[in-house]
Amino acid sequence: MTSPLNPQPDFIEITQLIHAARQRAVLAVNTTLIELYWQVGQFISRKIAQAE
């Protein structure tokens, strides 16, 4: 018969996987927002330059 599983290390690994995925998601969102703000700034700058 096999020995009973120790669930604690398994749950720790699952928790680490979830944490790593959340970190990647946060990084992706932040990168996308920075790109958006840059594009908005470029748009505004172009409009101001065209108006002058």
Buried b (16+ CB within 10 A) or exposed e, 2-13: eeeeeeeeeeee
Give domain status of residue 50, yes or no.
Answer: yes
Q: In this predicted model, what pLDDT tens digit does every residue of 5-49 receive, in sequence order? A: 677 888 899 999 999 999 999 999 999 999 999 999 999 999 999
Range of the domain at 30: 26-52
The per-residue pLDDT for 8 is: 87
CA 31 to each of CA 5, 10, 17, 25, 35: distance values in angstroms, whole numbers, following the listed order: 41, 32, 21, 10, 6
Give domain status of residue 32, yes or no.
Answer: yes
Give domain status of residue 39, yes or no.
Answer: yes
pTM: 0.68
Q: In this predicted model, what pLDDT tens digit does every residue of 38-49 receive, in sequence order? A: 999 999 999 999
Give domain status of residue 37, yes or no.
Answer: yes
Give domain status of residue 15, yes or no.
Answer: no
